[in-house]
Each structure stands twice: as structure tokens, then as C-alpha cells.
């Protein structure tokens, strides 16, 4: 385990050359060779700055004091399935495109179980009230369906997503861009502690490593990899969430985005994603359907109903031909509806049965049912 901890710090992850050496000789031997400088020139360069740092013991002690564990590919809970997506040659060639070497984690959840049924809910730190509400609604809905909410622990959308999952007694995972002991942002340290207490804090960086821009970008690939779908709730045009979405797409995951007002800059990045093929989602149900097991379908939203719903087209046409005031003969109704006179009597009888029309001295009139039943000829089509 100390060899893994040493390797986790010696090169900035992910490092393809280090992964290759590991595959060939195993962790203990790889660590030894790096210490002795007996590696190829590229890996020598990548490890030059840190190969003399021997903090593995102290790092592991710190981790254990905080109730954490170092998860390696040799462990049962290593999320093998989630990380097979990194196997594509195109991805390995991509900058920072490999799987993590190890993961430093704190929390009771198992990594592999988490990754089996998870959605990333991410977005801008500069979230609007709308975005925070949606993030919270979605997270609560995902929690209800036992989907783990994965996010980045940041202010704004991320925080709203984590909080709502915790409030709904759901499972939530924060993937960090620095060491697991560096709770960033500082204003979220209590929230991150709660996440580590019930779900999982995850990082590929050893203790003490500070978040940095390139680490956020590398972290985003893990957010995407651990989730079956990445849901971008709000994102500006320059957004880390768009980077996470790009990773999700590269890894073969579903990218979802939430629409918002076109006047809101906080939704502009979502609209770009939607124009480029992301799935538009409006409710947690729709995300569950996308990532869910067979047989989980989003409920149809309720349609407003109208007393005219059960009518046939011809019955409607006759109904529309009844005058707003007064009564008409069947012949007059035939003229105004454009139907043959012989065709209006049947529909009139049906309208009478439905309580929509009534006969009086051989003429027909509407039955008044309050505003909703007929406030204009296009009333039932909302324009």
C-alpha cells in the first residue's frame, strides 16, 4: 500500500508512462525503479521533481486517522466497469485521459456500488436561484430512486445538488480536485464532512495537494466516469461543467442539460450543449429513465383535461358551430360547420348526452358550463 501511496504523489496524475510501468512490473517494483531513476526518459522527467518525496507513511496515517482508505485496482471495490471506458486508444492518447492510478476515499459507501447507479449533477458556481432549485429538485428525485448524486463540491449548483441528496437521505459523492484533507472551497468544509460521513469523498490526489486549474479539468473526467449520465443544470459559456460534459461524451456516457431562459447567461452553456446533441431534461424521472434499469420509465406529465376531450372530430366541429348565444336549427348548424345536414344530427345527440348541448323546439343551444368549457373557438388548443 505504501508503494501505491508513493506512486500517487510522484507524478501528476494521470500519467500514461507511469500507468504503463505499473502494468509491466507492479506497484512495489515501479516505486523502486522510480526512486533509483531507472526509468525511461519521459517518465524520468515526469517524476524528477517529486521522486525524493517519501511521505507515503505519513499520508496513509493521515488518511486512516480521518477514517479513509486508499483504493487501488487490486481492491474489490475498484469500479472496474466504470473505468473500462478509459480503455479506448483515443482516450489514452488524450491529454490527462487515463484512468486514475488509485483513489483516496473517505466515507461508508462502496465505490463500485456507487458507480453502478449514479448521475453527475453539475453546473456553474454562479448559479441563479432557478438553477439551485432545479439542482435540488433533481437531486432529491434521484435520491428517491436510489441514484447516487455525484458532483464536485463547489459553490452553486454542486453544493445545491449535494445538500438536497443529503436532505433526502440519499447517497452523494464529491470528487475533489485536491487532497482529501484539503476541503475546498473552505466555505463547504462542513458540507464535505457530511458527505464523507454518509457517502463518499473521492480524490486521486494524495493528502495536502492543492486544487489547481488543471486538477479541476482532470477531476472532471472522474466525475464523468463514475456516472452513467452527466446532467448540466446551469453553465455559462466558459464552464467547467461543459468540460465535464465533454468527458462524459468521450467516455460514452449520456450528456443531459437543463434548459433555462435564453436571457440567462447561466443557462447559455446548457443551450450550447443542447444544440450539440445533449438530452434535454426537465425532471429527475427523465434522468432515471436514461440511466435506469430496464422498465423504469418517466411518468407522463399530467395533461390539462377538458370536457371536449372525448369528442370525435365531427362532434367538435358541430359543437363549434353552435352559437355563443341563442339557438340554431340543424340546417343552420350544417352551413356554419361545413358538414352535410344529414351528418349533424348524430353529433348533436352525442353532445346532448355529454351535457354540452341541449335541444329546444327543434333548435340547438350550448349548455353553459362556466368559462373553462368554451371561452373562444381555440380555447382547447391554448392559443
Binding to its own copies in span 217-236, by CB under 8 A? 217, 235-236
| CB 229 within 8 Å of CB 290 | yes
Closest CA to 128 of 174, 97, 160: 160
**203 sits near its own copies (criterion: CB under 8 A):** no
**239 sits near its own copies (criterion: CB under 8 A):** yes
Q: Which stretch, 98-106, 113-121, 122-130, 364-372, contacts its own copies (CB under 8 A)?
A: 122-130
DSSP tag of 297 = -
> Whole-number minimum distance, CB 383 to its own copies, in Å?
4
Residue with smaller CB distance to its own copies, 165 or 235 = 235
Residue with smaller CB distance to its own copies, 72 or 243 = 243
Question: How far apart, in whole angstroms, are the C-alpha atoms of residue 174 and residue 193?
Answer: 10
Residue with smaller CB distance to its own copies, 171 or 317 = 317
> Whole-number minimum distance, CB 156 to its own copies, in Å?
7
Find all residues with CB under 8 Å of 205, minimum gap 6, and list them.
8, 13, 104, 176, 177, 178, 179, 180, 215
Per-residue binding letters, 59-98, with its own copies (x by CB under 8 A): ------------------------------------x---
**381 sits near its own copies (criterion: CB under 8 A):** yes
Number of residues near its own copies (by CB under 8 A) = 83
Residue with smaller CB distance to its own copies, 4 or 78 = 4
Give the CA angle between residues 233, 235, 236 to the nearest 5°.
160
**238 sits near its own copies (criterion: CB under 8 A):** yes
Question: How far apart, in whole angstroms, are the C-alpha atoms of residue 77 and residue 226?
Answer: 13
**134 sits near its own copies (criterion: CB under 8 A):** yes
- Tell whether the torsion through CA atoms of 224, 226, 231 and 232 is positive or negative: negative
Per-residue binding letters, 340-359, with its own copies (x by CB under 8 A): xxxx----------------
Q: Which stretch, 32-40, 81-89, 214-222, 246-254, contacts its own copies (CB under 8 A)?
A: 214-222
Q: Which stretch, 29-37, 58-66, 194-202, 329-337, contacts its own copies (CB under 8 A)?
A: 329-337
SS3 240: helix
Q: What would the grid cell of residue 319 be?
A: 359543437
Binding to its own copies in span 261-280, by CB under 8 A? 261-263, 267-268, 271, 274-275, 279-280
Question: How far apart, in whole angstroms, are the C-alpha atoms of residue 191 and residue 146?
Answer: 20
Burial 261-277 (b: 16+ CB within 10 A, else e): eeebebbbbbbbbbeee
Residue with smaller CB distance to its own copies, 44 or 367 = 44
Contact with its own copies (CB under 8 A): which of 2, 110, 249, 283? 283
**157 sits near its own copies (criterion: CB under 8 A):** yes
- Which residues in the chain belong to E strands, given as ranges? 68-71, 103-106, 118-122, 148-151, 172-175, 200-203, 229-232, 254-257, 279-280, 357-360, 363-366
Amino acid at each position: 500500500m505504501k508503494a501505491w501511496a508513493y506512486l500517487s504523489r510522484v507524478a501528476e496524475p494521470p500519467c500514461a508512462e507511469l500507468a504503463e510501468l505499473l502494468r509491466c512490473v507492479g506497484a512495489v517494483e515501479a516505486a523502486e525503479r522510480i526512486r533509483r531513476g531507472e526509468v525511461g526518459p519521459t517518465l524520468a522527467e515526469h517524476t524528477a521533481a517529486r521522486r525524493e518525496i517519501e511521505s507515503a507513511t505519513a499520508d496513509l496515517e493521515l488518511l486512516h486517522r480521518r477514517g479513509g482508505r486508499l483504493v487501488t485496482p487490486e481492491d474489490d471495490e475498484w469500479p472496474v466497469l466504470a473505468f473500462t471506458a478509459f480503455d479506448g486508444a483515443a482516450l489514452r492518447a488524450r491529454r490527462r485521459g487515463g484512468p486514475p492510478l488509485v483513489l483516496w476515499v473517505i466515507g461508508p459507501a462502496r465505490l463500485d456500488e456507487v458507480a453502478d447507479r449514479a448521475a453527475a449533477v453539475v453546473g456553474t458556481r454562479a448559479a441563479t436561484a432557478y438553477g439551485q432549485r432545479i439542482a435540488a429538485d433533481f437531486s432529491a428525485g434521484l435520491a428517491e430512486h436510489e441514484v447516487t448524486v455525484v458532483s464536485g463540491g463547489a459553490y452553486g449548483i454542486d453544493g445545491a445538488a449535494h445538500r438536497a441528496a443529503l436532505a433526502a437521505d440519499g447517497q452523494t459523492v464529491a470528487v475533489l480536485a485536491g487532497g482529501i484533507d484539503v476541503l475546498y472551497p473552505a466555505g463547504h468544509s462542513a458540507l464535505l464532512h457530511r458527505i464523507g460521513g454518509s457517502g463518499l469523498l473521492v480524490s486521486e490526489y494524495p493528502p495536502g495537494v492543492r486544487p489547481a486549474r488543471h486538477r479541476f479539468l482532470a477531476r472532471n473526467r472522474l466525475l464523468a466516469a463514475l456516472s452513467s449520465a452527466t446532467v448540466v443544470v446551469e453553465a455559462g459559456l466558459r464552464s467547467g461543467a461543459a468540460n465535464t460534459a465533454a468527458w462524459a461524451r468521450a467516455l460514452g456516457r449520456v450528456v443531459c442539460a437543463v434548459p433555462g431562459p435564453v436571457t440567462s447567461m447561466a443557462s447559455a452553456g446548457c443551450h450550447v450543449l443542447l444544440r450539440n446533441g445533449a438530452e434535454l431534461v426537465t425532471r429527475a424521472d427523465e434522468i432515471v429513465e436514461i440511466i435506469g434499469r430496464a422498465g423504469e420509465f418517466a411518468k407522463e406529465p399530467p395533461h390539462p383535461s377538458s370536457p371536449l376531450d372525448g369528442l370525435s372530430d365531427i362532434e367538435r366541429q358541430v359543437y363549434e358551430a353552435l352559437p355563443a348565444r341563442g339557438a340554431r336549427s340543424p340546417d343552420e348548424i350544417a352551413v356554419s360547420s361545413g358538414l352535410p345536414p344529414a351528418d349533424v344530427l348524430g353529433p348533436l345527440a352525442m353532445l346532448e348526452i355529454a351535457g354540452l348541448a341541449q335541444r329546444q323546439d327543434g333548435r340547438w343551444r350550448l349548455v353553459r358550463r362556466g368559462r373553462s368549457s368554451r371561452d373562444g373557438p381555440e380555447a382547447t388548443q391554448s392559443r
